[in-house]
Structure 1
Amino acid sequence: MPNKMKKIGVMTSGGDSPGMNAAIRAVTRTCAYHNIECVGIYRGYEGMIEGDFKDLTARNVKGIINKGGTILKSARSKEFRTPEGRKKAYEALKAKEIDGLVLVGGDGTFTGALIFNQEFGFPVMGIPGTIDNDIYGTSHTLGYDTALNTVVEVIDKIRDTASSHNRLFFVEVMGRDAGHIALNVGVGAGAEEILIPEENLGLERLLESLRRSKASGKSSSIVVVAEGDKIGKNVFELKDYVEENMTEYEVRVSVLGHMQRGGSPSCFDRVLASRMGVKAVESLMEGISNQMVGLLNDKIALTPLEKAIKGQSKINKELIRVSDIMTT
């Protein structure tokens, strides 16, 4: 395998997600396997500009595969959005004699990497790390599977309370403008209705669905709402609307928030991070750049960063049909 890489940097950027540490470990140990030095870049692009670097070895990344969050920290960087900031970052990398970068993050991270490569010709490889699963070119992003398991467990607990008090619960989950988390956990947790941005249910149809559930003998209901759903201005407006039109229900709202991002990564995310980390390093060694490592049909595949940024992840239409049948 031809290799001009003597030193590779790895960083995490944007929102944290379970599996980022497993990816850092995978990149570091793949570098060690191929006798390449590995450098951790702290606090994303901000740390890159400031030269906040630490040499990583196979030994000092032990014990992190099971940890959520990111040991390299993450931060937003306004300065990196300027040509002057990116020039500082480039000079810091060159001063540290770093030859290529592996960046773990989402579309904002990849956009920065693409511009950086275009300006300085610096080799970059992306690993998708976000619980939202909203990146084109991969069926799973790091942290997505863990987030699903976390949310299903929480909804199971909420259902115990809903059943005890004959209540209707609106449970808002993360996902920005994508309904992947809501759709999957809604089916997995047996929700009576699922509201996602990709399918506009409408307020009247929501009421009809809840009335059917009530008529069928259900004394409590769970409605999973993606945070980007467009039916109401927010989940609390939905609560008020249902209370006005269905007085027989006690309605409660549970916004799960950042608990969905934390926690020990699932086995799936740990294995996926390991596969992606190996591919990212070995791609740089082969002279490949400007690509994102993804999972397609259970195989590790590369997608140009530009496509990953501009493309749209597609909601699973078959799962929407399954959810319609399951909520009957």
Structure 2
Amino acid sequence: MKKLAIVAAGGPAPGINSVIGAATIRACLSGVPVLGIQDGFKWLSEGDISHVVPLTIEDTSRIHFRGGSYIGISRANPTRSPEHLQRTIDALERLDVGMLITIGGDGTATLAHIISEKTRGKLRVVHVPKTIDNDIDLPDDTSTFGFQTARHVGVEIVKNLMVDAKTTSRWYFVIAQGRKAGHLALGIGKAVGATNTVIPEEFARGCPVPLSHVADLLAGSVIKRLGYGRPDGIVLLAEGLADCINPEDLARYTELPRDHMGNIHVAEINLGEVLEKVVKERLASLGLKATLISKYIGYEVRCADPIPFDMDYTRDLGHAAARYIIEGGTEAMVAMVHGRFQPVSFQDMKDPATGRPRVRMVDIDSDRYQIARSYMLRLKREDFDKPEELARFAAAAHLTPEAFREQFFHLVKDEPTNPDGRVG
């Protein structure tokens, strides 16, 4: 019987070991031998088949408690050249692999599809979606595995920062991972009751935005908080915001890392430090001084031990992936919707415009986002409509109400004045 190989690629996420363990157990009970491909596609793409380990029930039955990856992981991408892709396929054939389970994000899903097409059905391929960004377009708002654990651990970190902020009268600008979407930043910010949370989806209709606009948005939170007598606060910021800000503005404050094609590497931009500096400058222009500290959350949450939700969820995913592929399934992503396994074909995952898997963004028109937004302490349209509130915040900024309106009303000018308080 052909072997089943399991490979984890991309960045770590809590729950990888649960998928590996459950898939291995399901396959072994069906009499299918299982191989663990070490370090992602790093070695296979070089034609090296020595970095492979047999997986057994005894080896994997208790690995689901721990974070990280039992078989390692890497971002090596065999599609970077036809030669590397062919070496990968040849290596799998030499290993007598007839079934491949890939664990990864949208990039790995694309790679899985390419391998499936290239082998013309000889190699069955099933993908298990993994990313703490939660941005793979799964059905019915189903989270990607690892997201709930990452949020949980992130919340614990930010809870401590909130106590520190209040104790020391300072502000923390916390940057949460999320290349394109703001799910993790919003999930942490909403759960802890952060002073403000800013995500890229807010600016989707007007991207790119001036850096000064984002600076005013954050300065507005500091000023509003001061108006209520508090010199401290916590802001959650999605790293994908860097992609929404005018790059020429960013370039005045930091070097923009680019790849060989000239594309900006968002994750490598020191967004927190840039915003810390520009907001300090904005406040100083008003005669205000605040202690601002930037903090990044990403590596701390990627390899955390999974919480029970993700242990349960990922064991379902691993079992379903192995069962589906052993029974003849292929070219699909595994999804669990309302407790039921649902395969999503690689073709259905594609965005016709890009040819890559669709990215799931935060729906800013949803009640879940609107409720989160209603609790944020940021300048709102109603603050400018109430003379007593306008006077309060203007005084905190050392401005007249008229001058305050002139400098900050641009933040809310497009905000609808709905009777139920919803914002766009």
Residue of 45, 48, 51 corresponding to 1:50:
48
1:170 matched to 2:173? The reply is yes
Structure with greater contact order relative to length (CA < 8 Å, sep ≥ 6): 1
Give the aligned partner of residue 134 of structure 2.
Answer: 133
Question: What are structure 2's unaligned runs of at least 5 residues?
Answer: 204-212, 251-270, 350-355, 378-424
Residue deviations 1:128-175, cap 9 Å, x none? Answer: 111111111252112111100111000011111100111111011111
Give the aligned partner of residue 322 of structure 1.
Answer: 371
Question: What is the alpha-carbon distance in structure 2 between the residues aligned to residue 111 and residue 152 of structure 1?
Answer: 31
1:12 matched to 2:8? The reply is yes
What pairs with 1:191-270 in structure 2 (closer than 5 Å)?
Answer: 191-200=194-203, 202-229=214-241, 230-231=244-245, 233=250, 234-246=271-283, 247-270=288-311
Report SS of the residue matched to 1:44.
coil
1:85 matched to 2:84? The reply is yes
Give the aligned partner of residue 23 of structure 2.
Answer: 27
Question: What is the alpha-carbon distance in structure 2 between the residues aligned to residue 175 and residue 300 of structure 1?
Answer: 27
Of 54-63 and 85-94, more deviation after overlay is shown by 85-94
Per the TM alignment, residue 91 of structure 1 is displaced from its structure 2 partner at its CA by 2.2
Which residue identity is paired with 2:181?
A
Conserved? CA contact 2:334–2:344, under 8 Å: yes
Per the TM alignment, residue 80 of structure 1 is displaced from its structure 2 partner at its CA by 4.6
Percent of pairs with identical residues: 27
Which residue identity is paired with 1:265?
P
Which residue identity is paired with 1:216?
Y
Report SS of the residue matched to 1:21.
helix
Conserved? CA contact 1:46–1:80, under 8 Å: no
Per the TM alignment, residue 297 of structure 1 is displaced from its structure 2 partner at its CA by 4.3
Give the aligned partner of residue 149 of structure 1.
Answer: 152
Residue of 303, 310, 313 corresponding to 2:360:
313
Aligned residues: 324
Question: What is the alpha-carbon distance in structure 2 between the residues aligned to residue 76 and residue 208 of structure 1?
Answer: 40
Which residue identity is paired with 2:162?
R
Report SS of the residue matched to 1:294.
strand
Question: What is the alpha-carbon distance in structure 1 between the residues aligned to residue 131 and residue 33 of structure 2?
Answer: 27
Q: Provide TM-score, normalisation by structure 2.
A: 0.72
Question: What is the alpha-carbon distance in structure 2 between the residues aligned to residue 91 and residue 205 of structure 1?
Answer: 54
1:276 matched to 2:317? The reply is yes
Give the aligned partner of residue 36 of structure 1.
Answer: 32
Per the TM alignment, residue 264 of structure 1 is displaced from its structure 2 partner at its CA by 0.5
Report SS of the residue matched to 2:42.
helix
Residue of 282, 285, 303 corresponding to 2:326:
285
* Structure with greater Cα Rg: 2
Per the TM alignment, residue 310 of structure 1 is displaced from its structure 2 partner at its CA by 2.5
Query: CA distance change for structure 1 residues 202 and 299 in 2, over 3 Å: closer, same or farther?
Result: farther
Residue deviations 1:30-52, cap 9 Å, x none? Answer: 10122211111111122334112
Question: What is the alpha-carbon distance in structure 1 between the residues aligned to residue 222 and residue 339 of structure 2?
Answer: 38
Which residue identity is paired with 1:39?
L
Question: What is the alpha-carbon distance in structure 1 between the residues aligned to residue 277 and residue 184 of structure 2?
Answer: 24
Q: Provide TM-score, normalisation by structure 1.
A: 0.92
Question: What is the alpha-carbon distance in structure 2 between the residues aligned to residue 297 and residue 209 of structure 1?
Answer: 39
Give the aligned partner of residue 160 of structure 1.
Answer: 163
Give the aligned partner of residue 399 of structure 2.
Answer: none
Give the aligned partner of residue 301 of structure 1.
Answer: 342
Per the TM alignment, residue 290 of structure 1 is displaced from its structure 2 partner at its CA by 0.9
1:75 matched to 2:77? The reply is no
